[in-house]
Amino acid sequence: MRRKLAAGNWKMNGTTISLTEAENLAKAYTSPSVDLLICPPSTLLSRLSETLGNSPIATGGQDCHAATSGAHTGDVSAEMLKDSGATYVILGHSERRDTYDEESEEVRAKAGTAMENGLTAVVCLGESLAQREANNTLDIIGGQLAGSVPDGATGENLVIAYEPVWAIGTGLVPTLEQIAEVHGFIRERLIRRFGEETGNAIRILYGGSVKAANATEIFSVADVDGALVGGASLKASDFSGIIDALEKA
Ligand SMILES: O=C(CO)COP(=O)(O)O
């Protein structure tokens, strides 16, 4: 049985004041029935990890370098994330694939380094609107999945996030049938590559305009094991509506 996961990606949002939102969340969820994760900007990671202290809410980075250390100005290593209290790291987000031309091969190298450092890699996959309209969604997702996930993935060290690029921050959400098709396809590919047991243990999150108002129906879809939430994870009052829906799913 896969434990569900509600993950917040704060992206490039948040300063010290935002720690209060995490504190409010920690007060509200002292023993949640689902896993909870916040991935703040790296400037807040240490303080957020300290603020959350013994709360069950985990913290994570939003990217890491494939190398363990060295002359990489501006980058953050997996070891640094771990040292800042993180247990997860988001990798291959479409905003990084787009802005920094991150290819799946690079994402795979980063995920390997993250896993070696004891982090759980949240590997993001997603098609653009043009790719969906050209009926290429499953080809794109299949290629990104095969290319971005390293060998040795398990239900512990890997989470997949399906985030259609056109649904991120737009208020547009795929139909439940479209979500079911892609999540079912990812599940099948994971089983084919890693075997029945591991393939079934890896969690698959949906991400893209998830809100309290649409969370219940999204969580009703087979193989949706939780959500990777952007905008609606910034305020505890918004994120808690999504967490509550996941706890009831
Ligand atoms: O990109 C996302 C999470 O990683 C989704 O962002 P939104 O929830 O703001 O659409």
Domain count, the chain: 1
Q: 3-state SS string over 177-233?
A: HHHHHHHHHHHHHHHHHHCHHHHHHCEEEEECCCCHHHHHHHHCCCCCCEEEECHHH
How much is the ipTM here?
0.99
Range of the domain at 140: 5-248
What spacing in Å lies between the alpha carbon of 37 and ligand 1's midpoint? 14
| Confidence tier at 198 by pLDDT (50, 70, 90) | very high
User: In ligand 1, which atom is closest to the CA atom of 124?
Assistant: 4
Q: Around Cβ 32, how many Cβ atoms within 10 Å?
A: 18
23 is catalytic: no
Helix H segments across 90-163?
94-99, 104-116, 129-133, 137-148
The residue-averaged pLDDT of 104-117 equals 98
Rg (Cα) of the chain, in Å, rounded? 17
- Answer yes or no: 93 catalytic: yes
Of 76, 69, 67, the residue nearest 45 (C-alpha) = 76
Cα separation, 54 vs 50, in Å, equals 9
Atom of ligand 1 nearest to the CA of 228: 3
Cα gap 168→231, rounded to integer Å: 9
**Chain-centre distance for alpha carbon 204:** 9
| CATH number, residue 236 | 3.20.20.70
Rounded CA gap, 24 and 48, in Å?
Answer: 12
For 61-107, what is each residue's pLDDT tens digit? 999 999 999 999 999 999 999 999 999 999 999 999 999 999 999 99
As for ligand 1, residues whose beta carbon falls within 6 Å of it are: 9, 93, 163, 168-169, 207-210, 228-232
Give residue 54's pLDDT: 87
